[in-house]
Chain A
């Protein structure tokens, strides 16, 4: 099997002949055919029904005719019997009359009377038949007349016998007038009977005719209906079969489609599935899938039923003689050869032998054209016998090809996407490394800077200490200094003290900023009392600091908390209006499951807009009051590092600073002593 390149005009003859069948029928004509078949089936069924009804009606009608004829015949038979009875009665009467003439006794006379009555009765029956129209009235009237004449003759003779004697009667009898009359009656009855016989024969003929016709009509109707039903059955069976095949084919298509969408299914497996499906749909034995590369060349990407030798040979032939009929594929048309042996397109080419050796007698190819209109390759399937797939099979092949093309296109896009992803990923990794590297460098720089600033600040304290101490020594040892000199020395001392505080606070701040801060359970009240009692700053104001109530045990760092407390207390003392005795109240409450410690002072207060500002480093609100501007920044930093928070509310009568701290008795590592003590106390 081979295909020509669309550009390869030298293979033009191949292109034209391979199009032995081009496009499959259009969808509309296909559906029209199917609709026609369905309509025909309906028509046949309706016709069969109508014919059946008509036959049944006609057969019924014929039956009625026959039965009417038979009834008529039965009537005729009764008339025959009646006529016979009548003639018999007349003959009896005549015979008995003769016997009575001979004997003329009472007994015979009675018999004669009975016979006469019988004749009259029979005559009445005959007259009744005439009245009913069963026999002609004229005939009946004549019969009546004859009968009355005969009876009269008989009576006359009897009267003669009674009155004139046997001889006279015998003479009368010898005239045979009565016998003549009886004979007339017989002939008249025979005439009537003849007429009736004719009627009987006609009815019998009609009945026979009706019976024959009925049988024939019934047989013919039955035959035609059987034919109709058989035809309808064939149509329906064919449709059902087609539908079943279509359902199976759809299932195959669907399963292929579903498998192709699975991400973990690789492309080779997927294309093999497609090929197997194509073979199953068309009952083909062999097949290949080929795709176009960027240069427009076909490559086999999947094959079924061919050995390697054939494939190699095919590849070689494709290279040397070019491909066949790809132009039709470009135009989204089917292409194929119905018989390799007789194909004009292949005649004289090496393809014939190659294909026949591989057992390929016919083949068909459908283009792999995606929904977006890209031609990606083809699916070719081969048959071991001449011929072509049915329209339905071609339709399914088209669907399969469309699905496969879409799949291939999707895969291509996925590949591109993966590439882009990978590129992005590489870039992200690179960026991450860069960030890591720079972060490390920055951290190193920060560490260096911190170490530098720490040692700088630390080393500043040496000379400062010397300044402080020497000024003190100067003051002590050189008592002859004048008051002005003393004042200068004092100023030096004060200034250097301030620098010292600044440096110490700065060191604390940087420590709380950088260092690990291990937390342990602490009793804040003990800490506060310790600070108030031992710190020289608070020696003069111990009585103004009022620590009231119980304090919950908090989870904190002792050094940091000490700094916080001492700074808050120090501020409370420092920032009071001139002439005011400082007064500080410290207490604690539970607040949102935290321990909140309040420091209420009677200081100058803080303006609302400055609440945030005061916790920032080097922010001083008041030039009159001494301070480094670091104290509250240390408090804030230290409290935050311990998982707490700090805040302030203030008015003209003073400020309330509060610290929120973690509670020790709600955390896992609370001191064992507390939890063990409680049950003991309860006892």
Chain B
């Protein structure tokens, strides 16, 4: 697994949240690049672009973080699109939201999210969280190296 070549795709419309996550990742020493898109549509476009170019499966993001409340297409819709799109079903997708509402959490897992993270309020919390998902999804997580057979 070539970690350096992988990246994290982060869909977020709030600039400060992007700032804090970038900072937390940097301080936690996460090597993956952070690619930020500012809306659900942008995230879908980005992923479409990757698969359309027929790039190597390795060029897919190691992790997709989706905010829920975004203008236009919500994080849930992006998640659903990912799970419905051939070749992207196994993409590690985690919801990243300020909402702790159980209905949001339930909806996320029902749609096939790999996890649900509540946005941290302090730098300490952010550090703990980043360390957690670094260990779970970026360091030890095994992902398919070739694309799954794509049904026609």
Contacts and interface: CB of A to CB of B under 8 A. Distances in A.
Interface of A: 454, 458-459, 461-462, 464-466, 468-470, 472-473, 476, 500, 504, 507, 511, 515, 559
Contacts, number: 44
18 contacts: A454-B101, A458-B101, A465-B17, A465-B120, A466-B14, A466-B16, A466-B17, A469-B20, A469-B122, A469-B123, A472-B123, A473-B123, A476-B123, A500-B121, A507-B101, A511-B101, A511-B102, A515-B102
Contact of B14 (A462, A473, A476, A559): A462
Contact of A469 (B101, B102, B126): B126
B119 A465 contact: yes
B100 A469 contact: no
B89 to A, nearest CB: 30
Contact of B98 (A465, A473, A511): A465
A535 to B, nearest CB: 14
A461 B101 CA distance: 13
Contacts of A462: 14, 17, 98
Interface string B125-152: 0100000000000000000000000000
Given A465-B121, A466-B16, A515-B102, 11 more contacts: A458-B101, A459-B69, A461-B98, A465-B16, A465-B119, A466-B20, A469-B20, A469-B122, A472-B123, A473-B123, A507-B101
Contact of B16 (A470, A472, A507): A470
A454 B69 CA distance: 13
A484 to B, nearest CB: 22
A518 to B, nearest CB: 11
B69 to A, nearest CB: 8
A309 to B, nearest CB: 82
Q: How large is the interface on B (under 10, 10 to 19, 20 to 34, 35 or more residues)?
A: 10 to 19
B99 interface: yes
A458 B99 contact: yes
B23 interface: yes
The 5 closest A-B pairs by CB, nearest first: A466-B16, A472-B123, A461-B98, A469-B20, A465-B121
Nearest to B124: A472
A455 to B, nearest CB: 8
Q: Is the interface of B mostly helix, strand, loop or mixed?
A: loop
Interface in B4-40: 14, 16-17, 20, 23
Interface in B25-81: 69
Contact of B23 (A461, A473, A500, A511): A473
Given A462-B14, A466-B16, A507 B100 contact: yes
B122 A472 contact: yes
Contacts of A507: 100-101
B98 A458 contact: yes
A500 B126 CA distance: 16
Nearest to A475: B123
A438 B17 CA distance: 43
A470 B100 CA distance: 22
B103 to A, nearest CB: 8
Contacts of A511: 101-102
Contacts of A464: 121
Contacts of B122: 468-469, 472
B144 to A, nearest CB: 35
A507 B98 CA distance: 12
Interface of B: 14, 16-17, 20, 23, 69, 98-102, 119-123, 126
A628 B14 CA distance: 28
Nearest to B99: A458
Contacts of B14: 462, 466
Contacts of A470: 16
Contacts of A454: 101
Contacts of A458: 98-99, 101
A469 B16 contact: yes
Nearest to A472: B123
Contacts of A468: 121-122
Contacts of B23: 473
Contacts of A500: 121
Contacts of B100: 504, 507
A468 B100 CA distance: 18
Nearest to A515: B102
A504 B98 CA distance: 11
Nearest to B27: A476
A569 B86 CA distance: 51
Contacts of A515: 102
Contacts of A466: 14, 16-17, 20
Contacts of A476: 123
Contacts of A461: 98
Contacts of B119: 465
Which of B69, B102, B122 has the most chain A CB within a 10 Å cutoff? B122
A479 to B, nearest CB: 15
Contacts of A459: 69
Nearest to B126: A469
A416 B44 CA distance: 73
A461 B17 CA distance: 12
A511 B16 CA distance: 28
Contacts of B126: 469
B44 to A, nearest CB: 23
A476 B20 CA distance: 13
A465 B119 CA distance: 9
A473 B22 CA distance: 13
A301 B111 CA distance: 77
Contacts of B69: 459
A626 B99 CA distance: 25
Which of B98, B101, B121, B122 has the most chain A CB within a 10 Å cutoff? B121
A507 B102 CA distance: 11
Which of A454, A458, A476, A500 has the most chain B CB within a 10 Å cutoff? A458
A204 to B, nearest CB: 144
Nearest to B16: A466
A451 to B, nearest CB: 11
Nearest to A459: B69
B121 A469 contact: yes
Nearest to A463: B16
A209 to B, nearest CB: 138
Contacts of B123: 469, 472-473, 476
Contacts of A559: 102
Nearest to A493: B122
A503 B14 CA distance: 20
Contacts of B98: 458, 461-462, 465
B11 to A, nearest CB: 15
A472 B120 CA distance: 13
A504 B17 CA distance: 19
A461 B121 CA distance: 9
Contacts of B16: 465-466, 469-470
A281 B102 CA distance: 85
Contacts of B101: 454, 458, 507, 511
